[in-house]
């Protein structure tokens, strides 16, 4: 299992449990075991879902952790496979099988990986224009999903309180509805300070999820 992914999973999961005031119990151990299975991706996804099915208290994290499962595959598992595996029919079939899984968080996590590779600081305008290509006519689906982020980029230069308040009055796409606040707060503070996390818990209307998502993103970034 990729070490950065493991740290992000543990930190995010424990932040969610802390804010929700629930016990992690054996969930963390079981989930890490699923990530570390030496099986193909679809079998790993089945094991991953079985863990969530057994721990309903953490259901809200299922799809963003599925994004982590994907990132772990790209960072760790794929190293054990043939060089052109991601171009293979097998991988194309896996993509087809999992097309409805995960969330827009995967895009941000892949962008952060690219920033690491290029040794640059994540920045909202760069994410939207250079990574998602929202200004390109061929990527209008992304434009529609991220339209409220595009129109309100200035929020990432204000405060956690302003972001949380503004989000309540915006017509955010279904795909980004839950992730708008943690995405914008990340671009406000990419380091993930304790102060920002505390303010997010204070002002968010979805406290546990937002804190867990923000913790996941910033841990991957650090």
Q: Where do the domains of the chain lie?
A: 1-102, 120-222
- Residue-wise pLDDT for 94-135, tens only, equals 888 888 899 999 999 999 999 999 999 999 999 999 999 988
* DSSP line for 65-123: HHHHHHHHHHHTGGGGS-TTGGGSHHHHHHHHHTTTSS-THHHHHHHHHHHHHHT----
Please state the rounded mean pLDDT for residues 189-208. Answer: 96
The pLDDT value recorded for residue 76 is 76
Task: Please report the sign of the dihedral spanned by the C-alpha atoms of residue 91, residue 93, residue 95, residue 97.
Answer: negative
Cα gap 192→65, rounded to integer Å: 19
Specify burial of residue 30 (Cβ count, 10 A radius: 0-12, 13-18, 19+).
Answer: middle
Q: Is the dihedral of CA 36, 40, 45, 48 positive or negative?
A: negative
Share of the chain above pLDDT 90, in %: 79
Q: Contact 163/155 with Cβ under 8 angstroms?
A: yes
**Range scoring the smallest mean pLDDT among 1-5, 6-10, 80-84, 97-101:** 80-84
Q: What is the pLDDT of residues 17-61, one digit of tens each?
A: 999 999 988 999 999 999 999 888 999 999 999 999 999 999 999
- 214 or 81: which leads in pLDDT: 214
What lies within 8 Å, CB to CB, of 95 at 6+ separation is none
pLDDT digits (tens, 9 = 90+) for 138-190: 778 888 999 999 999 999 999 999 999 999 999 999 999 999 999 999 999 99
This prediction has a pTM of 0.93
* Sign of CA pseudo-dihedral 116, 120, 123, 129: negative
Burial of 98 (0-12, 13-18, 19+ CB in 10 A): middle
Identify whether the C-beta of residue 129 lies closer than 8 Å to the C-beta of residue 135.
yes
């Amino acid at each position: 299992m990729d070490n950065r992914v493991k740290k992000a999973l543990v930190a995010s999961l424990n932040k969610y449990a802390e804010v929700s005031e629930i016990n992690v119990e054996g969930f963390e151990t079981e989930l890490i075991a699923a990530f570390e299975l030496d099986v193909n991706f679809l079998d790993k996804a089945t094991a991953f879902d079985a863990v969530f099915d057994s721990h309903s208290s953490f259901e809200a994290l299922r799809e963003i952790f599925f994004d982590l499962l994907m990132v772990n595959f790209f960072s760790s598992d794929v190293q054990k496979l043939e060089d052109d595996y991601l171009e293979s029919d097998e991988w194309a079939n896996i993509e087809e099988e999992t097309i409805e899984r995960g969330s827009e968080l995967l895009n941000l996590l892949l962008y952060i990986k690219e920033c690491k590779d290029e040794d640059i600081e994540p920045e909202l305008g760069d994410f939207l224009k250079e990574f998602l290509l929202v200004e390109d006519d061929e990527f209008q689906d992304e434009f529609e999903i991220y339209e409220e982020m595009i129109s309100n980029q200035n929020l990432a230069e204000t405060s956690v309180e302003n972001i949380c308040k503004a989000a309540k009055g915006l017509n955010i796409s279904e795909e980004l509805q839950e992730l708008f606040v943690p995405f914008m707060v990340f671009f406000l503070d990419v380091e993930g300070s304790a102060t920002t996390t505390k303010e997010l818990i204070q002002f968010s209307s979805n406290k546990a999820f937002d804190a867990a998502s923000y913790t996941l993103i910033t841990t991957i970034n650090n």
